A and B are shown apart, each in its own frame.
Chain A
């Protein structure tokens, strides 16, 4: 089937099998390898992207379901290779170690802050509840998001 998507402002037209998951389409067909795969049951959130303004796990969406959609991935967060305030906060607060969960965390945090620019610590944890991290224990990630929220 034909699929047309706009990802980070750029439009792509591809032919895909209906069974292809959006995460595989992004990574394998569009070479956007910033979104990751960490599980096979929709639990880990490493594949989180924003589709038409809504935060979703791209491993539970078929590529064909995204036809006509506008998708944001981690590669589209900054401009001209510069880090955003949120990304700089992650660096400041040591909110990443191996970096594998980080794109998903950034997308979830981005979605949260758009909707709620001053979230409480509990609201931040709830917003990140769908993103598993094995390295940091989450404390520094929550601090990083809080630091951007308090501004």
Chain B
């Protein structure tokens, strides 16, 4: 039985078939975070904290209509006000910039996406005009004087109607609302249906629209240096590599003209990836007005316009099953609602395929993926991006099949889980699950939640007028993308693989300085990077200075740099490891020369320096090394190739996938989480409480277990919020009904259930440190809550969002 609070159990199993380099020393310890001191003292630097003399504050005039032609814009009254510095309209944007590059093939490829609405608005809250003024309040006031005339059009709000004859069309250039469609098919589904004892049919499943609402909204302060044509973009965008390749061509400037600087970011969860249109507006205005431009996104702006998670329907699902609960395969039609623009989409149309079979051994799978545009906020990656939706689908199938066959959901899962002895496991579409023991994780989760005592707890709940329900949510967190998967969306794209960069150097006084290419939003990169460096250099993490945040000027980044998609423990830390090993080798080379020709094998790094193993008194501290190379290098051998300033690019081992067969490895690592939720449903009202909860995580080797557990907890809380209360719901005119924290209820402290956490470590055989990317969590809480409600009510749950009314309606059936 879990404590009221959080308690932690660790069980360690090493299941990798090949030997991996296991960190000793600092790796594996819950070192306290370096980031915390400044954050606890209120000395963090978040983007809205950055100020520049003479900066203008930007306010967006946003569309009040979901769908309308823009017939007239007049900014003259706003511009006439003293203190208003200037404005920007869509017309100007269309003249100054090219439309953003589209990832999609036709028809989505044909849409024209500019950083302000041009000619038409397509969702409520879409930016139409930008006003910059001396104060925040004046920009806001002046925006009310901007005149915009609209000719309203019918709004399309239901993705299922998007391809109906006569449906309102958002993008005439695309000839309709279809943005992308593709058919995925592996194995032999017909033979699977022939072999099946039964075909379970599920007409409709729905995964709802929500996102992670990071507490800090988007923002930027952009400066333009006229002399060199350089923009410095202070922002909290979490994937500057992506922003740069979108912005550069649109603005018709080289990427080096866009310098991204971030320090502290108040949460990202994927929702801070697609702010590039707003950043372009800031850049254009900084240049036009010759002054720094500051943009703060308010909560309502964020809810209306930024990064909704993919809403996805699964229609006409058919599942081939045997009577004993073995699942052979499925077919389904996935309909994805992209909202008004494709910013990171339609990558969601392939990213789900990283986890095609979920955690299960079925081999015959067919999925038709269709993505359409609707008059709602544009979607973009949200924690668990596209895999979460698909994994929820596989979990629902498990539970619905169990329900139809009258089988225990625990047994059905165990019967169908991929087994530890199958790892590494190649899925039907060629992805390779590196390691994991799902059955063991499930057992641990059930134990943590006191599953054996459920019968008694059910009776007790019944006596109090409540119905108890237990549900399992198993999920994967696939990490480190192979961007070659984008070619399955559009074969013409020239992206593949992945990378991350780190530099490690010894300064003149021997200080160890590290730069990363990432943009952390609370994942503790400074700390874990310091742990990895400390283990290799034989010092303490306190001796390692990791620069906070990201800055393009450090030249410590590559095309895919950023913090997204559960990968830092692999990409970032492997880059750090590579750079530090380079540095370690150089230190030894230098010391070898200084000691008069001692070979590297005879040397070791320890105690903040380098020494001869058999003669520890022969010791050169890092300070001496740094001083020699930087300031005192006369007399060194001519061929001594040592700079003590090492840059390493980590490149995971990927091939370009087979575009025709849609086959190939799409992600390097597969962390897993299995959650069990226990709910009590009030029979009279449909309201329910989560009374117990267990979360078991396996992300391979954990460099800092406390940091890992923190993100497991955070992902759990977000999933619970989405399952019970959080939804971006629209009325039929395209108005968002939950545009702020008053109506969009996120969990508060009193909402949290007692939580027990557990961990298993199945190191990845594919990564330099045995780590796996983690952090997104794959929505396990949503899957578990749906299962628990189904168990409590005895009714099949078909929606990911189950507020009290829906549960009450289920019980009326």
Cβ–Cβ contact A98 & B299, under 8 A: no
B40 interface neighbour in A106, A121, A136, Cβ under 8 Å: A106
- Whether a CB of chain B sits under 8 angstroms from the CB of A53 is no
Which residues of B sit under 8 angstroms from A77, Cβ to Cβ? 41
- Nearest-neighbour CB distance to chain B for A19, whole angstroms, equals 7
Cβ–Cβ contact A33 & B521, under 8 A: no
Cβ–Cβ contact A19 & B137, under 8 A: yes
Cβ–Cβ contact A100 & B42, under 8 A: no
Cβ–Cβ contact A134 & B752, under 8 A: no
- Nearest-neighbour CB distance to chain A for B132, whole angstroms, equals 16
Binary per-residue interface labels of chain B (761-797) against chain A in the complex, 1 for a CB within 8 Å, 0 otherwise: 0000000000000000000000000000000000000
Which residues of A sit under 8 angstroms from B755, Cβ to Cβ? 137, 139
Among B158-166, B276-284, B495-503, B714-722, the one that faces the other chain is B714-722
Residues 227-285 of B contacting A (Cβ, < 8 Å): 264-267, 269
Which residues of B sit under 8 angstroms from A102, Cβ to Cβ? 39-40
Chain B residue at smallest Cβ distance from A126: B750
- Nearest-neighbour CB distance to chain A for B511, whole angstroms, equals 20
A81 interface neighbour in B41, B266, B709, Cβ under 8 Å: B41
- Whether a CB of chain A sits under 8 angstroms from the CB of B6 is yes
**B4, B5, B42, B137 — most chain A CB neighbours (10 Å):** B42
Chain B residue at smallest Cβ distance from A87: B40
Cβ–Cβ contact B264 & A99, under 8 A: yes
- Nearest-neighbour CB distance to chain B for A14, whole angstroms, equals 14
Among B98-106, B143-151, B208-216, B471-479, the one that faces the other chain is B208-216
- Whether a CB of chain A sits under 8 angstroms from the CB of B554 is no
Given A102-B40, A126-B750, A136 and B266 contact (CB-CB distance below 8 Å): no
- Whether a CB of chain B sits under 8 angstroms from the CB of A22 is no
- Whether a CB of chain A sits under 8 angstroms from the CB of B725 is no
Cβ–Cβ contact A139 & B752, under 8 A: yes
Cβ–Cβ contact A24 & B136, under 8 A: yes
Binary per-residue interface labels of chain A (110-151) against chain B in the complex, 1 for a CB within 8 Å, 0 otherwise: 000000000001001110111111111111111100100000
Cβ–Cβ contact A98 & B264, under 8 A: yes
A92 to B30, CA, bound (A): 10
Cβ–Cβ contact B214 & A134, under 8 A: yes
Chain A residues touching B, range: 35 or more
Determine the main DSSP class of A at the interface with B: loop
A46 to B137, CA, bound (A): 21
- Whether a CB of chain A sits under 8 angstroms from the CB of B461 is no
- Whether a CB of chain A sits under 8 angstroms from the CB of B33 is yes
Binary per-residue interface labels of chain B (1-38) against chain A in the complex, 1 for a CB within 8 Å, 0 otherwise: 00011100000000000000000000000101101111
Given A38-B299, A100-B215, A140-B6, A129 and B748 contact (CB-CB distance below 8 Å): yes
Among B372-380, B591-599, B738-746, the one that faces the other chain is B738-746
A98 to B717, CA, bound (A): 15
Among B43-51, B184-192, B658-666, B804-812, the one that faces the other chain is B43-51
Chain B residue at smallest Cβ distance from A28: B136
Given A33-B49, A129-B748, A134 and B5 contact (CB-CB distance below 8 Å): no
A41 to B300, CA, bound (A): 9
Q: A142-B5, A143-B5 are in contact. List 4 more A-B contacts (CB 8 A).
A: A33-B49, A87-B40, A98-B216, A137-B755
20 A-B pairs (CB sep. < 8 Å): A37-B48, A39-B299, A41-B740, A41-B741, A44-B299, A74-B42, A83-B37, A87-B40, A94-B706, A97-B523, A98-B266, A98-B267, A99-B40, A99-B266, A100-B46, A101-B215, A132-B746, A134-B714, A136-B714, A139-B755
Query: Interface of A with B (CB < 8 Å)?
Result: 17, 19-20, 24, 27-28, 31-41, 43-44, 46, 73-75, 77-78, 81, 83, 87, 90-92, 94, 96-103, 106, 121, 124-126, 128-143, 146
Query: Interface of B with A (CB < 8 Å)?
Result: 4-6, 30, 32-33, 35-44, 46, 48-49, 51, 136-137, 212-217, 264-267, 269, 296, 298-300, 521-524, 706-707, 709-711, 713-714, 716-718, 740-742, 746-750, 752, 755
